[in-house]
Amino acid sequence: MTLRVTFDTNVLDYACRPERFPKDHRQPQLCKVRDALASKRIQGFYPVTMLTIEGIMRKDRAEVLGSTKLRQGAEELSVTRNADLPDAIRAEANGADIETVTVNFTVEQSARKPLHPEVIARVKAAQALGLRVLKDVPRIGAFTINDPNNEFYLDNGDEKALADWTNKVHEVGRAIEHRGLGIAQVKALGQNLALQDPGSAWFQSLENAKDIHQERAVERAFGEWADGDAIASHIAYGIDVFCSSDVGNSNATNSVLDPANRAWLTTAYGVRFMTFDDLLASLP
């Protein structure tokens, strides 16, 4: 039976680029994971937050988020003749044609820079092994990566399946945020910093950090946001295992990946956590 594994950012290179760790005493075992991915004995995934959130250099994160703009495209008008409408809608229209106005919105982050070459190399190595990317929690104004040929993301279905995925990822995202985890921490910091500049939105106020301690808190909060959304997406997709070396030690406040919150996620949503060593031990 194929094991489906979400690889956190901190273990993805072990799985996809073991040659980067020639002095690691586990080198033969690392290659086993890569071979298992190549032969499809393990089906691998990683969260898009590795690119959209963690892919921003730490020192640039507040500036990039603060530069977020929602741009409205031109309105497009189309007309559907009454005779072409579904029966139920035709009855409501009382014989009239239906005019539809379509407006496309795009998100721009003018301060966002190209991904670091190491991140690009990691993505290419993962793609070569067939890893798919888990979509993020849908958020208004969020930065997204287009996938017109459906070659990048793991499909989250259409109609009912898509609705179920969307409902689940929002349910888990809200539960994480309600516990003061995930995006809740970066929002709280932004709101506190906004007190210095009441005219700014919370995500613009993150640049108001006035000393090294606040700057580091903002950087950690971005990492916590990425972890929270990654877990929510993992659960919504129903992946078997979340593999990570992160146990929340880098966060000065509660982390979604600390032992207590891992236990909650396992009890509430059945999340099965593995360290990379756990995964190595599970291979024949």
- Rounded to the nearest 5°, which phi and psi values hold at 197? -145, 75
The pTM of the full predicted model, rounded to 2 decimals, is: 0.88
Tens digit of each residue's pLDDT (9 = 90 or more) over 202-232: 888 988 888 898 899 998 999 999 999 999 9
How far, in Å, CA of 245 to CA of 274, rounded? 8
pLDDT band for position 71 (cuts 50, 70, 90)? confident
Query: How far apart are the two ends of the chain, measured CA to CA in Å?
Result: 13
More confident residue, 218 or 252: 218
Residue 251 has pLDDT above 80, yes or no: no
How far, in Å, CA of 192 to CA of 202, rounded? 8
More confident residue, 70 or 262: 262
H helical segments located in the chain = 9-16, 27-38, 49-52, 61-66, 87-93, 117-128, 160-178, 183-194, 212-237, 259-269, 276-282
Mean pLDDT of 272-282: 95
How far, in Å, CA of 24 to CA of 127, rounded? 24
Residue 7 has pLDDT above 80, yes or no: yes
Residue 250 has pLDDT above 70, yes or no: no
Per-residue pLDDT at 247:
65
pLDDT band for position 170 (cuts 50, 70, 90)? very high
Q: How far are the Cα atoms of 50, 127, 128 from residue 39, in angstroms, in the given order?
A: 24, 14, 12
